[in-house]
Amino acid sequence: MKIAVVGATGLVGSLMLKVLEERGFANEEILVAASEKSIGKKIKFSNRELIVQSVEQVINQQCDYAIFSAGGAASKKYAPLFAEKGTIVIDNSSAWRMQENIPLVVPEINANAIKNEDKIISNPNCSTIQMVLALSLLHKTYQIKRIVVSTYQSVTGTGVKAVNQLDCEKENKACEKAYPYQIFENILPHGGDFLENGYTTEEEKLVNETRKIFNDNSIAITATVARVPVKGGHSEAVNVEFVKPFEIEDVYKLLESTKGVVVLDNPTKNIYPMPLNAKDKDEVFVGRVRRDTSIANGLNLWIVADNLRKGAATNAIQILEYLTRK
């Protein structure tokens, strides 16, 4: 197999290479592409070095698959060019997610949305992936009526520049800022760009992508996104109202039987998910499970995952695994 990783020098792109190596693709032919400033750089992969090429160079090398993490503009420009060559593209940007003919996939939930003729497949937003995976069997069993979600998102979701900003501010050094304000010892109620309705693009993604993945536009969803000075992963306080009644014991059983979900929930021993648990892990961690007594059929959950792994790189490689098995 010939697999291209586009955006290979970024936070997610470099992790995609690591996950490819971990999950049995170490001996495949891997091509790496990045922006002009990175061309010619060497990247260690398995027992060899890969030389970064331009995207244009890689397009013409008849790849079987191309995994993109180079931003929306690059995906819009180059993904169709790969597809024209017969390459199947797995794209991590928001460029294609809401296009009707492009599948938006979390493999444990809706891999069957991928059709044989699909040449571009979209990876959902990191905060969406962890939420829908945790809720998937609950939705199938009790039918979600409404979700209220507040996220506490890691600086790693913004990229290298944001991680550098946090590190510099910790050490009281001057540096280039990714955010309009200090992030160290602060929380910004601001993820993505603000829209005319007062919500942000990150909040809008949680609404639209959840409905698309569950194939259910009847779900009412409202979201608030906050950026926190954390590197390990994204955390979410999720309040769900179901159509059907449930027993808490059954909720635990469904969560424990959801592939890719780990329940960490023992308040008497202070056991609950945290970014420290999730860092460098592929699982989605769920805890603080409790009934919302203010409404009928209401449930509260706390959901944490490494946004760079299951929230991006791992989910993309799991899509690749599904396609190669298929």
One-letter amino acid of 92 = N
Alpha-carbon distance values, 222 to 146, 205, 303 (Å): 8, 11, 16
For residue 61, give Cα distances in angstroms to 8, 9, 30, 65: 17, 20, 11, 11
The 10 Å Cβ neighbour count of residue 50 is: 18
Rg (CA), the chain: 20
The b-or-e profile of 183-208 (16+ CB within 10 A means b, else e) is beeeebeebbeeeeeebbebbbbbbb
This prediction's pTM:
0.97
Q: Pick from 30, 55, 53, 26: which is nearest to 41 by CA?
A: 53
Tens digit of each residue's pLDDT, the chain (326 residues): 999 999 999 999 999 999 999 999 999 999 999 999 999 999 999 999 999 999 999 999 999 999 999 999 999 999 999 999 999 999 999 999 999 999 999 999 999 999 999 999 999 999 999 999 999 999 999 999 999 999 999 999 999 999 999 999 999 999 999 999 999 999 999 999 999 999 999 999 999 999 999 999 999 999 999 999 999 899 999 999 999 999 999 999 999 999 999 999 999 999 999 999 999 999 999 999 999 999 999 999 999 999 999 999 999 999 999 999 98
**Exactly one of 63, 126, 168, 175 is catalytic; which is it?**
126
Q: Is 139 a catalytic residue?
A: no
Q: Rounded to the nearest 5 degrees, what angle is found at the Cα of 192, between the Cα atoms of 191 and 195?
A: 110
Structural domain boundaries in the chain = 2-124+312-325, 127-307
Q: How many whole angstroms separate alpha carbon 230 and alpha carbon 237? A: 16
Question: What's the gap between Cα 59 and its chain centre?
Answer: 25
Distance CA 203, CA 72 (A): 17
- Concerning whether 126 is annotated as a catalytic residue, the answer is yes
Q: Given 3.30.360.10, 3.40.50.720, 3.40.1550.20, 3.30.300.20, which CATH number is that of 127-307?
A: 3.30.360.10
Cα separation, 95 vs 85, in Å, equals 20
Q: What are phi and psi of 158, to 5 degrees?
A: -85, -30
Q: Indicate which residue of 139, 168, 190, 234 is catalytic.
A: 234
CATH topology of domain 2-124+312-325: Rossmann fold (3.40.50)
- Asked whether the beta carbons of 179 and 163 are under 8 A apart, the reply is no
Strands 88-91 and 65-68: parallel
Token look-up 């569950």 returns: 214
